[in-house]
Amino acid sequence: MKREIGTRTELHSEDENAIVVKNLHKSFRLPTEQAFGLKQAFFNRLKGIKGYKDQNVLQGLDFTIKKGEFVGIIGRNGSGKSTLLKILAGIYYPEKGEITVNGTLVPFIELGVGFNPDLTGRENVYLNGALLGFSNEEMDAMYDDIWEFAELRDFQDQKLKNYSSGMQVRLAFSIAIRARGDILLLDEVLAVGDAAFQEKCNNYFSSLHKKKQTVVLVTHSMTDVRKYCDRAILIENGKIIQNGDPKTVAKAYLNLLS
């Protein structure tokens, strides 16, 4: 099966590559000043004042991720790594370049999107599950496991607005990890909850590595990069400056910070 989405192609084949990115570019327009009224906007146009500037976030990225690889995407704040992840997830679209995704892709980017604070935890589990594509019958089957993993069963019938932000993230994460996909996109989700819950999450991701699940992890934690990743990609100013052994790339990242 093959589906074209602009410059993005999704397919299912026996190809060993999970993701192929070629010459990827992405920019955003940032306002520089406001024009109050049509008259001011007209005069600005006559003077050649655009009222915005283009920020080139990604500049010609090329890389391939093979099936079964656990790859870390690292870089300083503003380097473009989260933008890249959102393009891979189909949230953003690039101006130029090609993306081929081979398999079903599940993004863990903004946990808890779709939660309703006026509904109970129980109701939000089914709501969030529906957003992830699960039927009510599937949610019935996994319901107990979700609450056991989140360690929040005593709060299942309380409204979500009475949950702390940490509790909401734990519940969202516990729902999300039930999603079935060939490729997982993770954005700093290893840092959810308290120390005990983080350890549980670490065990889960260790199991993914052992199962040869294809994972793309955006993170600032070089400990996670060294622990989980088969390979790491370092982005700086929207360009890949290093791609290879996780320990070597992590060292290069730390050198950028010094």
For domain 2-104+216-257, the CATH superfamily is P-loop containing nucleotide triphosphate hydrolases (3.40.50.300)
Domain boundaries, the chain: 2-104+216-257
Model pLDDT, residue 9: 73
Helices (H), the chain: 38-46, 81-89, 121-131, 136-150, 165-176, 195-210, 222-228, 246-257
CA dihedral 126, 132, 138, 143 (to 10 degrees): -50
Model pLDDT, residue 79: 93
Spatial separation of the C-alpha atoms in residues 228 and 70, rounded to whole Å:
7
pLDDT digits (tens, 9 = 90+) for 44-95: 666 665 666 777 889 999 999 999 999 999 999 989 998 999 999 888 889 8
Model pLDDT, residue 106: 81
Spatial separation of the C-alpha atoms in residues 96 and 50, rounded to whole Å:
23
Spatial separation of the C-alpha atoms in residues 143 and 129, rounded to whole Å:
10
Residue written as token pair 């060993």: 16
Phi-psi region of 171 (alpha: psi -120 to 50; beta: other; left: phi over 0): alpha
Radius of gyration of the chain from Cα atoms? 21
pLDDT digits (tens, 9 = 90+) for 211-220: 889 999 999 9
Residue count of the chain? 258
Please give the chain's pLDDT, 258 residues, in tens: 333 444 667 777 778 999 999 999 999 876 665 655 666 666 666 666 566 677 788 999 999 999 999 999 999 998 999 899 999 988 888 989 999 999 888 887 777 777 999 999 999 999 988 887 788 999 999 999 999 999 999 999 999 999 998 888 889 888 888 877 889 888 876 666 677 787 888 888 888 878 889 999 999 999 989 988 999 999 999 999 999 999 999 999 999 998
